[in-house]
């Protein structure tokens, strides 16, 4: 019996400096409930991802080594930790964690140094921690602008740090720094790892923009059509209250005028806000899409920074067509493409009589236009029209079109998806059911 007791004592002394696995699901004597990362450490211990030392200690304030980091990540990912020789000349099968180091290398999670070493006993910095967790858990790539004053794009850890920050795994300090060279303790690494494994441990992720359709950060200004829809993809659900969405708007460069953009939230994806160029029916104009940092996520998290994207609406190659009929002069400037027709409409009253015209809905100018195909039964309306307002008002009003007066409007009409037999015409009419004319469009679109 005494012999057995001596063997046990000898075994404990032999493991004096080596973490043991027997305490994986237990509580650690040096990690009290008041310790900052108590819950994260207990969680990892319950999953047998971390283990302690002799006498039930975890040593949360000791620096975490590169070998320990590989072991913890390897267990979290359920990699094969069987001891083995590795490609590193300083990690043989006798080195603690050799199996996890080898497995992590195979997964592309860790790499060594140019001299063929891994340096398993070196300490892990905050920059290295971000790289390891970014690779191990394949954190979502973020386009978040750099919020830290002490990291830059030329650093190997740059994107990993941003990904960890945007995911709510690692935050910075109140002075705006990330401190990439600071060494991570065992307790801190446990917290970062727990957040990677279990999202409920994460803080609120930094609310940021992931992508914006039609925008390339490398260009000074995006070139878009007047019916372009901006799809703004955030990394979290957006508070779709209209007061919140008012913080997304358009500014016209020529007069610095703010224009309401009437953004809407995608019903199938509350992380995506759509902005159509409703009121911007102007060709060859420069604008800014402004996404103010006061935009909030559904949980009230503000945007990390404001965005201001410059864009220019394309200038079509217009041709002019005119027609005079029933005391009215029609001047139509249009550009016909494969799928649509841009039009500027101008109707002048060249007669000596006043004409009663109705406005209302989306035809408030009193002019309407549509595409029509000539069939055996007459003109048949085809295609569709782009609406320049979120909701067309329901009111209808009457006004007098006086001699010498001119009515103007702009329309964007779409050809039908299927080919059309026969000629296609642009029909322009006053909103009084009696005055209209047609312009034959080219078959070569």
Tokens of 26: 């237990």
The pLDDT value recorded for residue 2 is 44
The pLDDT value recorded for residue 280 is 65
The pLDDT value recorded for residue 390 is 53
Tokens of 417: 């998806």
pLDDT tens, residue order, the chain (445 aa):
444 444 333 333 333 333 433 333 347 999 999 898 999 999 999 999 998 888 889 999 999 999 999 999 999 999 999 999 999 999 999 999 999 999 999 999 998 999 999 999 999 999 999 999 999 999 988 877 788 999 999 999 999 999 999 888 998 887 888 999 999 999 999 999 999 999 989 876 677 788 888 888 778 888 988 888 899 998 888 888 878 888 999 999 999 999 888 888 877 788 899 998 766 667 889 999 999 988 888 877 788 778 899 999 988 888 999 999 999 999 999 888 888 898 889 999 999 999 999 887 777 888 989 999 988 888 889 999 876 555 666 778 899 999 999 999 888 899 998 888 888 999 998 988 788 898 988 765 4
The pLDDT value recorded for residue 278 is 65
Domains and CATH numbers, the chain: 19-201 (no CATH), 209-313 (2.60.40.1220), 319-440 (2.60.40)
Contacts of 5 (CB under 8 A, 6+ apart): none
Given a contact cutoff of 8 angstroms between Cβ atoms, the answer to whether 98 and 86 are in contact is yes
The pLDDT value recorded for residue 3 is 45
Largest CA distance in the chain: 125
Contacts of 81 (CB under 8 A, 6+ apart): 71, 74, 75, 97, 99, 100, 103
For the chain, give the number of residues.
Answer: 445
Q: Quote the pTM value.
A: 0.54
Alpha-carbon dihedral angle through residues 107, 109, 113, 118, given to the nearest 10 degrees: -80
Contacts of 294 (CB under 8 A, 6+ apart): 244, 247, 302, 303
Tokens of 326: 């029933």
């Amino acid at each position: 019996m005494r012999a057995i007791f001596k063997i046990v004592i000898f075994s404990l002394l032999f493991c004096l400096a080596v973490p043991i696995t027997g305490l994986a699901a237990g509580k650690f004597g040096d990690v009290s409930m008041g310790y900052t990362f108590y819950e994260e450490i207990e969680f990892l211990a319950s999953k047998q991802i971390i283990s302690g030392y002799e006498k039930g200690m975890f040593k949360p304030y000791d620096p975490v080594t590169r070998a320990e980091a590989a072991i913890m990540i390897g267990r979290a990912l359920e990699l094969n930790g069987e001891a083995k020789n590795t490609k590193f000349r300083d990690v043989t099968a006798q080195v603690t964690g050799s199996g996890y180091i080898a497995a992590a290398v195979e997964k592309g999670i860790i790499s060594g140094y140019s001299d063929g070493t891994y340096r398993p006993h070196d300490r892990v910095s905050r920059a290295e921690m971000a790289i390891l967790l970014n690779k191990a858990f394949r954190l979502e790539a973020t386009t978040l602008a750099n919020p830290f004053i002490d990291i830059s794009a030329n650093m190997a850890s740059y994107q990993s740090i941003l990904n960890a920050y945007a995911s709510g795994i690692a935050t910075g300090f109140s002075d705006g720094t990330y401190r990439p060279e600071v060494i991570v303790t065992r307790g801190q690494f446990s917290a970062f790892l727990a957040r990677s494994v279990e999202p409920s441990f994460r803080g609120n992720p930094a609310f940021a923009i992931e992508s914006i359709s039609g925008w390339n950060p490398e260009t000074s200004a995006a070139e878009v059509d007047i019916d372009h829809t901006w799809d703004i993809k955030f990394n979290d659900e957006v508070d779709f209250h209209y007061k919140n969405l008012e913080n997304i708007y358009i500014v016209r460069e020529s007069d610095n005028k703010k224009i309401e953009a009437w953004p809407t939230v995608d019903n199938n994806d509350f992380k995506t806000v759509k902005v159509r160029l409703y009121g911007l029916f102007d060709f060859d104009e420069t604008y800014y899409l402004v996404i103010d940092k006061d935009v909030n996520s559904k949980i009230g998290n503000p945007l990390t920074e404001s965005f201001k994207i410059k864009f220019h609406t394309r200038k079509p190659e217009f041709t002019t067509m005119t027609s005079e009929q029933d005391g009215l002069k029609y001047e139509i400037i249009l550009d016909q493409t494969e799928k649509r027709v841009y039009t500027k409409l101008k109707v002048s009253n060249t007669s000596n009589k006043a004409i009663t015209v109705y406005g209302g809905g989306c035809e408030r100018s009193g002019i309407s236009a549509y595409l029509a195909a000539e069939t055996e039964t007459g003109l048949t309306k085809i295609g569709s029209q782009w609406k320049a307002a979120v909701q067309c008002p329901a009111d209808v009003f009457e006004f007098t079109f006086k001699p010498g007066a001119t009515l103007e409007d702009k329309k964007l009409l779409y050809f039908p998806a299927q080919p059309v037999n026969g000629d296609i015409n642009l029909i322009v009419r006053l909103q009084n059911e009696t005055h209209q004319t047609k312009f034959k469009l080219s078959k070569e679109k």
